[in-house]
């Protein structure tokens, strides 16, 4: 089989991440680090979704800076542009164009039931804008405009993916077979990394307490200090058990980073104290993230290189998605245009 045919035989993956801050160890273990190994088996298309980011208030200068930083962080985490595409969502207008068409296949009731919308409208009561409500339709467009087969997501995004599947099926039954109905791919280990200060809450980049969150660009001393301060319990045993949320979280992190099972980790630390264990987790996390931090430092100031990367990938994503958008426009009955 020719290399090009093999390439076309491969299933297609799409995933996106919002540039709303430096990525956390939770984003990394639950999402980003799973993207790199998929690149050999699948054709992968990844995007920094800046259009999603303006559904909550963000300063224009901050968004611009964070978008470029997010792009550099993803490259530093191993997205390989020889194998995959990585682009900025607003550079590829087909997403927003398809999202308008899909709006007319999405129901008000469905969108009202989305828990992220309910959470975010509670959090931003002074700005419950239509974009916040429509967020999942743009996400559906991101995926369907490439006819992606598989979508790597964290557990919190499964409701949005299910809606994308509903919209795809509804469109197909109304207008004839057009979209692939995508499958979700939730990573088996570390789908939910918890806050170091309140281990009943997920680690989140918008947390106001910096000690609760490990950022992938934190230096070694900072990482070790944050783990030393991690909230645990009044016991002394390093075992994964109900009620030991702090220790469970640290064991999950240790296991996700070293590749050892939880049982192996429990054995390794049998008889040791919490202090030693926290230090060991801090060490392995810092060593694991060091190459990411180094690669990021090399990339982030090379604005010309970043521009060349996102321009090339964006142009290719546009070409690819334009074909699918044209088909959609034909199916819904828009008059063919020579302008596009
Ligand atoms: P924010 O604080 O801005 O809401 P966040 O840190 O919660 O952001 P998102 O940008 O919503 O993260 O998510 C990016 C990706 O990282 C998603 O796929 C999400 O499922 C995953 N993710 C986020 N937090 C965690 C976590 N604590 N554990 C595992 N995966 C996570
Ligand atoms: N909603 C996702 C980000 C996102 C996404 C996508 C993920 C936007 N479009 C398409 C997968 C596929 C989030 O907040 N993590």
The string over 84-104, giving b where at least 16 C-beta atoms fall within 10 Å of a residue's C-beta and e elsewhere, is bbbbbbbbbebbebbbebbee
Residue 134 sits in the same domain as residue 279: no
| pLDDT at 31 exceeding the cut of 90 | no
Nearest CA to ligand 1 atom 23: 27
Amino acid 338: pLDDT? 86
Instruction: Return the H-helix or E-strand segment holding 265.
Output: helix 262-268
Same domain, 214 and 171: no
How far does residue 14's CA lie from ligand 2's centre (Å)?
9
Q: Are residues 128 and 178 in the same domain?
A: yes
Q: Which ligand is nearest to the CA of 164?
A: 2
What's the pLDDT score for residue 160?
Answer: 98
Average pLDDT score over residue span 177-195? 87
Ligand 1 atom with least separation from CA of 156: 20
Q: Which two tokens stand for residue 322?
A: 């334009």
Q: Are residues 182 and 285 in the same domain?
A: no
Statement to judge: residues 71 and 178 lie in one domain:
yes
Identify any residues that bridge with 13 across adjacent strands, giving them in sequence order. 44, 150
Which residues form the domain of 75?
3-190+302-332
Average pLDDT over residues 234-261: 95
Ligand 1 pocket member 331 (CB < 6 A): no
Phi and psi at residue 259, to the nearest 5°? 80, 0
Three-state DSSP class for residue 218? coil
Which of the ligands is closest to the CA of residue 193?
1
The answer as to whether 205 is a domain residue is: no
DSSP-derived letter for residue 40 is T
pLDDT at 9: 80
User: Is the residue at 176 inside a domain?
Assistant: yes
- Residue 8: predicted pLDDT: 65
What is the 3-class SS of 119-188, one letter each residue? HHHHHCCCCCCHHHHHHHHHHHHHHHCCCCCEEECCHHHHHHHHHHHHHHHHHHHHHCCCCCCCEEECCC
Q: Is the CB of 26 under 6 A from ligand 2?
A: no
Are 120 and 166 part of one and the same domain?
yes
> What pLDDT was estimated at residue 126?
94
* pLDDT score of 183: 97
Checking if the pLDDT of 2 tops 70, the result is no
CATH code for the domain of 326: 3.40.50.620
Identify which of 134, 247, 269 has the alpha carbon closest to the alpha carbon of residue 196: 247
Residue 4: predicted pLDDT: 56
Query: Which of these, 288, 290, 295, 289, lies nearest to 75 by C-alpha position?
Result: 295
Residue 340 belongs to some domain of the structure: no
Q: Are residues 155 and 254 in the same domain?
A: no
- 142 within ligand 2 shell (Cβ under 6 A): yes
pLDDT band at residue 82 under the 50/70/90 scheme: very high
Q: Is the CB of 14 under 6 A from ligand 2?
A: yes
122 alpha carbon – ligand 2 mean position (Å): 20
**Residue 309 pLDDT > 80, yes or no?**
yes
Report the number of distinct structural domains present in the chain.
2
CB 123 within 8 A of CB 116: no
- With bands split at pLDDT 50, 70 and 90, how would you rate the model's confidence at 250? very high
User: 282 Cβ partners below 8 Å, 6+ apart?
Assistant: 223, 224, 225, 226, 227, 228
For 110-137, b/e burial (b = at least 16 CB within 10 A) is ebeebebbeebeeeeeeeeeeebbbbbb
Same domain, 70 and 126: yes
pLDDT in tens, 36-61: 889 999 999 999 999 999 999 999 99
Same domain, 16 and 127: yes
Which residue is closest in CA terms to ligand 1's atom 15?
27
Residue 56 and residue 111 in one domain: yes
Judgement on whether residues 94 and 215 belong to the same structural domain of the protein: no
Please indicate, yes or no, whether residues 94 and 123 belong to a single structural domain of this protein.
yes
Asked if residue 229 has pLDDT above 90, the reply is yes
| CB of residue 20 inside a 6 A radius of ligand 2 | no
Rg of the chain over Cα atoms, rounded to whole angstroms, equals 21
- Model confidence pLDDT, tens digit, residues 131-179: 999 999 999 999 999 999 999 988 789 999 999 999 999 999 999 999 9
Task: Decide: 27 in ligand 2 pocket, CB within 6 A.
Answer: no
Output the residue whose Cα is nearest ligand 2's atom 4: 16
Torsion, Cα 132 31 35 288, to 10 degrees, reads 140
Residue 3 has pLDDT above 60, yes or no: no
Instruction: Record the tokens describing residue 170, joined without a space.
Output: 């509804």
**CA of 18 relative to ligand 1 center, distance in Å:** 9
Active site residues: 120, 202, 205
Give the containing element (helix H, strand E) for 282. Answer: helix 274-300
Compute the distance from residue 70 Cα to the ligand 1 centre, in Å: 14
- Please state the atom number of ligand 2 nearest to the C-alpha of residue 154: 15
Among the bound ligands, name the one nearest to the CA of residue 24: 1
- Is residue 157 within 6 Å of ligand 1 at its C-beta? yes
How many distinct helices (H) and strands (E) make up the chain? 15, 5
Considering the chain, what is the average pLDDT of its residues? 94
**Which atom from ligand 2 is nearest to the alpha carbon of 138?**
9
Atom 7 of ligand 2, nearest CA residue:
16
- Of 279 and 33, the one with more pLDDT: 279
Whether 199 is in a domain gets the answer: no
Question: Given a cut of 90, is residue 104 above it in pLDDT?
Answer: yes
Is residue 26 within 8 A of residue 216, CB to CB? The reply is: no
Residue 306, both tokens: 């970043």
Give the Å distances, CA to CA, from 58 to 52, 78, 120, 128, 239.
Answer: 11, 28, 14, 14, 42
């Amino acid at each position: 089989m020719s290399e090009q045919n093999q390439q076309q035989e491969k299933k297609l993956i799409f995933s996106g991440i919002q540039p709303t801050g430096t990525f956390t160890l939770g984003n990394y273990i639950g999402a980003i680090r799973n993207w790199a190994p998929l690149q050999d088996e699948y054709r992968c298309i990844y995007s920094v979704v800046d259009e999603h980011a303006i559904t909550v208030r963000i300063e224009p200068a901050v968004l611009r800076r964070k978008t470029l930083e997010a792009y550099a962080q993803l490259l530093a985490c191993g997205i390989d542009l020889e194998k995959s595409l990585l682009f900025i969502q607003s550079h590829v207008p087909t997403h927003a164009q398809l999202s308008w068409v899909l709006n007319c296949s999405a129901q008000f009731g469905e969108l009202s039931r989305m828990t992220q919308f309910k959470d975010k409208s509670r959090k931003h009561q002074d700005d419950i804008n239509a974009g916040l409500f429509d967020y999942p339709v743009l996400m559906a467009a991101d995926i369907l405009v490439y006819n992606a087969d598989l979508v790597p997501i964290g557990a919190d995004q499964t409701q949005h993916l299910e809606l994308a599947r509903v919209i795809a099926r509804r469109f197909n039954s109304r207008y004839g077979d057009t979209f692939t109905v995508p499958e979700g791919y939730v990573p088996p280990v570390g789908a939910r990394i918890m806050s170091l200060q309140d281990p009943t809450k997920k680690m989140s980049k918008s947390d106001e307490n910096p000690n609760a969150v490990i950022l992938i660009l934190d230096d070694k001393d900072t990482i070790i200090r944050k783990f030393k301060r991690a909230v645990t319990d009044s016991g002394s045993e390093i075992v994964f058990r109900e009620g030991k949320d702090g220790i469970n979280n640290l064991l999950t992190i240790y296991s996700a980073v070293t590749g050892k099972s939880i049982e192996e980790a429990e054995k390794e630390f049998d008889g040791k104290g919490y202090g030693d264990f926290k230090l060991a987790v801090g060490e392995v996390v810092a060593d694991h993230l060091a190459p990411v931090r180094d690669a990021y430092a090399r990339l982030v100031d090379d604005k010309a290189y970043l521009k060349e990367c996102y321009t090339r990938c964006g142009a290719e994503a546009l070409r690819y998605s334009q074909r699918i958008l044209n088909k959609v426009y034909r199916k819904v009955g828009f008059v063919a245009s020579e302008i596009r």
